[in-house]
Amino acid sequence: MAELDPETLKREMINWRRDLHAHPEFGFEEKRTAAFVAAKLREFGLDDVAEGVGGTGVVGTLKRGTGNRAIALRADMDALRISEQSSAPYRSGNPGVMHACGHDGHTAMLLGAAKLLAGEGGFDGTVRFIFQPAEEWGRGALAMLDDGLMQRFPFDEIFGLHNMPGLPVGHFETRAGPVMSAEDNFEIVLRGFGGHAARPHSGNETLVAACALVTNLQTIVSRRLSPADIAVVSVTELITDGTRNALPGLARILGDTRSFRPEVSAAIERQMRTIAEGTAAAYNIAAEVHYTREFVPLHNDAELVEAAFAAAKKIFDPGNVAVAREPMTASEDFARFLDHVPGCFVFLGNGEASAPLHNSSYDFNDDGLVFGASFHAAIARQRLGI
């Protein structure tokens, strides 16, 4: 098989990435993105390209040799509901939606790997290229799994990656064990009896109780969990039905929590219910707690982490390949695949000057595209060695 020209592939990936960036789509709305991906995979000559998996997901299959093992490489495709602040010629053309997390880059890198592996081979077995919808709100991986992903496109292990602002381009990090946290969401509804702001004693208003509850919730991590357990409880919204001269009879407190073990998640929920009920009783109002689990913790398989490091050292300067110092309290629904097969999730530098993820000024650094595509191809060839 002919070797692909690296500079030509890099220019193609930049063009793909910027086209995707200009046409961002929210989760389960990635129709144009999915069609773009499927067309490219067919152009590269993959053995099979399946669309509509889990709604808008795409799965490409490439087989070489006679090996009976299969691995999966995964990229996410969805954008965020954020208005882009950019003057780039490829800025979002979809008002209120932008690729603020680099999924345009992740998609372009996996397409580049598909073109590399289809054109050059170098492996014996099956590679599944999984282009997943709706990662940002934790539903896309589950949707693909519920649509029979493992039965229709079986694989033995899975690898994924994410760009990392602050880490220099050309740097690689991962770690064995816990990598990214679970995310739970909560809503606490306080119900009382509102009234005139001049006569608080005539009712049971909810705002002071809500303020006390927000403060009390901070004791869950500081006083109810072991210091050895990493956890976060964040209140992100406080909404009432009051106005300038009317005390509220209803207050809603919303937020999320992060943890790395199911037992910790259960303890957080239990303590939250206790604190909410106790605070409500102290203020003579009622409380309802709604608690949901959106993302599960992401734990890397130790053997596959070693394999990822070995593959990375063939692509990156070995001095730029490092063990991540600590788990992240961000979440990733790549973890859902790890309920079915072992896997490894890694981080690639997006540049020290990069804006943060989920920021309206963020942009994926095109200098990282070749590193990501090359890593995907290298790990496939390593795990499916001839």
The pLDDT score that the predictor gives to residue 39 is 98
Cα–Cα distance measured from residue 153 to residue 13, given in angstroms and rounded to the nearest whole number:
26
- Both 43 and 167 in a single domain? yes
Phi, psi of 344 (to 5 degrees): -145, 130
Domain end residue (candidates: 295, 313, 328): 295
- Both 257 and 316 in a single domain? no
- Both 322 and 211 in a single domain? no
Going from the C-alpha of 212 to that of each of 200, 202, 223, 290, 321, the distances in angstroms are 16, 20, 16, 19, 47
Mean pLDDT value of segment 145-153: 98
Residue 39: inside a domain, yes or no?
yes
pLDDT at 267 over 70: yes
Q: Specify the CATH number for the domain of residue 87.
A: 3.40.630.10
Mean pLDDT value of segment 147-164: 98
Domain end residue (candidates: 295, 328, 363): 295
- Both 168 and 266 in a single domain? no
The pLDDT score that the predictor gives to residue 4 is 83
Q: Specify the CATH number for the domain of residue 188.
A: 3.30.70.360
Give the H or E element holding residue 360: none
Angle formed by the axes of helices 369-383 and 302-315, to 10°?
120
Domain residue limits at 217: 182-295
pLDDT at 1 over 70: no
Domain end residue (candidates: 250, 265, 295): 295
Residue 1: inside a domain, yes or no?
no
Question: Each residue of 12-67: pLDDT tens digit?
Answer: 999 999 999 999 999 999 999 999 999 999 999 999 999 999 999 999 999 999 99
- Both 228 and 119 in a single domain? no
Question: Each residue of 83-121: pLDDT tens digit?
Answer: 999 999 999 999 999 999 999 999 999 999 999 999 999
Say how many domains are in the chain: 2
The pLDDT score that the predictor gives to residue 386 is 86
Strand, coil or helix: 158: strand
- Both 161 and 14 in a single domain? yes
- Both 150 and 78 in a single domain? yes
- Both 117 and 27 in a single domain? yes
- Both 161 and 63 in a single domain? yes
- pTM, rounded to two decimals: 0.94
Residue 82: inside a domain, yes or no?
yes
Question: Amino acid identity, residue 227?
Answer: P
- Both 214 and 134 in a single domain? no
* Mean pLDDT, rounded, of the chain: 97
Residue 67: inside a domain, yes or no?
yes
pLDDT at 3 over 90: no
Q: What percent of the chain has pLDDT over 90?
A: 98
The pLDDT score that the predictor gives to residue 2 is 66
- Both 87 and 208 in a single domain? no
- Both 265 and 368 in a single domain? no
Mean pLDDT value of segment 211-218: 98
Cα–Cα distance measured from residue 84 to residue 93, given in angstroms and rounded to the nearest whole number:
9
